[in-house]
């Protein structure tokens, strides 16, 4: 069973995703990381991708869907995948569901819940550590959070209606949140 992890920017999603992969053996598909690598590649495609990331907007559908499709088909059927950062809107959800169905992969979703004010504080702290430009500017952070609210929440709600979603409290320490997530994951299988 594959896993799609949702959570507002700053919810700890990326950190939790990496630990889940390390300890539970998932293959990590991190949409933002894949796109940042393309943005840094110095190609024309990279320039296009960068122009969206820099302003906190979603990269065009065709680009991200090709990247994720290639990653999915490259994995053997018995390798579980953890998706971090996709699907981000309803178009991506429809395309993602279709790819997963095509290749016969089942998935469940977890949303890490965190209060927005706390999330902003966590991101500003992270920007200082990692030097990410799109994390350092509060206007861009707010823009990414707006996108989450207007575009990604409807996706999460749709998965909830399909009975595919579990919610996990994202407050408290990282170990605590990890415990809650693994508890939920273990109940899937």
Helix pair 61-73, 90-103: axis angle to 10 deg? 20
Q: Which of 62, 65, 77, 87 is nearest to 27 (CA)?
A: 77
- Please identify which residue in 56, 95, 111, 114 interacts with ligand AMP, judged by CB under 6 A: 56
Stretch that binds ligand AMP, among 40-48, 72-80, 82-90, 111-119 (CB under 6 A): 82-90
Which one of the spans 48-56, 95-103, 116-124, 163-171 is the region binding ligand AMP (CB under 6 A)? 48-56
Who contacts 124 (Cβ-Cβ below 8 Å, separation ≥6)? 135, 136, 138, 141
Q: Using CB under 6 A, which of 9, 11, 16, 111 touches ligand AMP?
A: 9
Which of 3, 8, 20, 58 forms a contact with ligand AMP (CB under 6 A)? 58
- Binds ligand AMP (CB under 6 A): choice among 3, 21, 28, 31: 31
Minimal CB distance residue for ligand AMP: 32
Q: Residue 102 CA to chain centroid, in angstroms?
A: 21
Minimum separation from the CB atom of position 17 to ligand AMP (A): 10
Counting other chains too, the contacts that 156-161 makes at CB distance below 8 Å and 24 or more residues apart are 156/6, 156/109, 156/111, 158/90, 158/93, 159/4, 159/93, 159/109
To ligand AMP, the closest distance from the beta carbon of 93 in angstroms equals 10
Check binding of 95 to ligand AMP (CB under 6 A).
no
Tell whether residue 32 is a contact of ligand AMP (CB under 6 A): yes
Decide: 37 and 27 in contact? Cβ < 8 Å.
Answer: no
Asked if 88 touches ligand AMP (CB under 6 A), the answer is yes
| Residues 156-175 as x/- pattern, contact with ligand AMP by CB under 6 A | --------------------
Please identify, using beta-carbon distances, which residue of 39 and 181 lies nearer to ligand AMP.
39
């Amino acid at each position: 069973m594959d896993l799609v992890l949702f959570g507002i920017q700053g919810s700890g999603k990326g950190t939790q995703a990496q630990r889940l992969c390390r300890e539970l053996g998932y293959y990590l598909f991190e949409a933002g990381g894949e796109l940042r690598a393309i943005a840094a590649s110095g190609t024309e495609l990279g320039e296009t991708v960068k122009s969206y990331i820099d302003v906190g907007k979603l990269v065009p559908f065709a680009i991200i869907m090709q990247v994720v499709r290639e990653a999915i088909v490259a994995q053997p059927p018995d390798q579980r995948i953890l998706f971090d950062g996709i699907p981000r809107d309803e178009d991506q959800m429809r395309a993602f569901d279709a790819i997963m169905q095509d290749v016969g992969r089942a998935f469940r979703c977890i949303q890490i819940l965190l209060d927005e004010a706390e999330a902003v504080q966590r991101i500003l702290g992270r920007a200082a550590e990692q030097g990410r430009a799109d994390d350092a500017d509060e206007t861009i952070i707010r823009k990414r959070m707006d996108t989450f609210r207007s575009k990604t929440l409807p996706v999460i709600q749709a998965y909830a209606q399909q009975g595919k979603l579990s919610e996990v409290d994202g407050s408290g320490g990282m170990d605590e949140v990890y415990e809650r997530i693994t508890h939920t994951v273990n109940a899937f299988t």
